[in-house]
Every structure is written in C-alpha cells, then in structure tokens.
C-alpha cells in the first residue's frame, strides 16, 4: 500500500486500483467529539458518493465504508489533475466543469471544495475529494460553492481565470435549470465579499 496524499482531514493511500481514505484523528478535540465528527463526515461522504453513482456522475465509485475505522474504499480515478492541463483548452474544459457542477446542484449536492486540484481529466472531467460535501437545496450554499470555484480559479489560474469562470457559468446554466436564482444569489455572495475586503 502506498500513501498518495496527507491532508488536514484525511490520508489517501492506494492499494492496486483501489483508494483508501482514512479520516485523521484530531488530538486537539475531545475523543468523543472527534469520533462523532469523523463518523458523521465519513457517513455523509459515502452517501454523497452513492448518490453520484445513482446519477452516473463522473466521480469515484464507493466500494465500502467503515465508520469504525473512519475509512472509505473507492475507485482510483486515473488521469491528469485539471489544475495541470486546464490551460490546454480553458474555455471548453471550463464549460464542461460548469455543466457538471450544475448537475450536482440540481441534485442538491454541494461539493464544498471546488478547485481544479479536485478534478481529474481523462476522457472527461471527473470530480474527486468529496470530504467537505453535503446535501443542500439552499441557493446560498450553491452560490457559495460557485464563489469558491471562482476564488480557486483566480488563485491557481490568474492569467485565464476570467474567461474560465465565464465559461463555467455558461456550462452551469446548461446543467442546472434553476441556475438563474443561484446566479442571482452568487452576485450577493460576491458583493458581501467585496464589502468585507474594504474593512
């Protein structure tokens, strides 16, 4: 077994073509609180992955969930991180990712960490790392998800982010029939962000 990544929330290891995600114990939290939180997040991520499989959405397929070990076993997603290849065809790829975010939001799935490091390009864009994901029908949560995408694009792809985000919103409208209310709320979210920046 080989460790692929170690983040604040979990370690990611690979065993053949299977990925193991283990939620890390936090020593600064009381044991009882830590166990409950990690168990809740492990179960929630598993539910999101199962829903995505029902939708035939391009994301890892869940093999097993163990809320005693706080572990998920899932498919290894092959390909290049979108972060590294977005520049090759930024507008077309951004429109595709926007459409897929729209599909998730139509099904009330909030990713919670929409960065191009959490998207893999193979024959299509596939989404990974649903550790912060949750279910919500609220326009606010969907708008914040898009706002986080904008911030990620601006940070990692500063020379092309504007055309990428514009294309992503175009795709979003194709994937989400209720896009107008979410995009209206996005304007409010971004206005709040600008006002905070003034102080």
- 1 confidence band (pLDDT: 50, 70, 90): confident
Which pTM does this prediction carry? 0.92
C-alpha distances in angstroms, 28 versus 22, 31, 34, 41, 137?
18, 9, 9, 18, 33
What are the sequence ranges of the domains in the chain? 2-75, 80-197
The model's pLDDT over 106-140, given as tens digits with 9 standing for 90+, comes to 999 999 999 999 999 999 999 999 999 999 999 99
pLDDT at residue number 199: 40
Q: 2-75 and 80-197 share one CATH topology?
A: no
CATH superfamily, with its number, for domain 2-75? Phosphorylase Kinase; domain 1 (3.30.200.20)
Mean pLDDT of 91-100: 98
Is 145 considered catalytic here? no
The catalytic residue among 15, 34, 84, 113 is 113
pLDDT at residue number 198: 46
Q: What is the CATH number of domain 80-197?
A: 1.10.510.10
How far apart CA 79 and CA 59 sit, in angstroms, is 12
Residue 196 has pLDDT above 60, yes or no: no
């Amino acid at each position: 077994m080989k460790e692929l990544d170690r983040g604040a929330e979990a370690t990611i290891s690979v065993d053949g073509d299977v990925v193991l995600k283990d939620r890390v114990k936090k020593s600064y939290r009381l044991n009882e609180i830590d166990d409950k939180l990690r168990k809740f997040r492990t179960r929630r991520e598993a539910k999101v992955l199962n829903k995505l499989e029902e939708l035939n959405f391009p994301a890892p397929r869940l093999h097993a969930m163990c809320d005693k070990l706080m572990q998920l076993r899932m498919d290894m997603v092959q390909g290049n991180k979108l972060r590294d290849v977005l520049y090759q065809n930024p507008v077309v790829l951004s429109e595709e990712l926007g459409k897929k975010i729209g599909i998730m939001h139509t099904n009330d799935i909030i990713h919670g960490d929409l960065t191009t490091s959490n998207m893999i390009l193979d024959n299509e864009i596939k989404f990974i790392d649903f550790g912060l994901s949750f279910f919500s029908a609220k326009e606010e949560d969907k708008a914040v998800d898009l706002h986080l995408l904008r911030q990620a694009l601006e940070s990692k792809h500063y020379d092309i982010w504007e055309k990428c985000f514009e294309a992503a919103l175009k795709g979003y409208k194709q994937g989400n029939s209720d896009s107008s209310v979410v995009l209206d709320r996005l304007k409010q979210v971004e206005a709040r962000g600008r006002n905070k920046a003034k102080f």
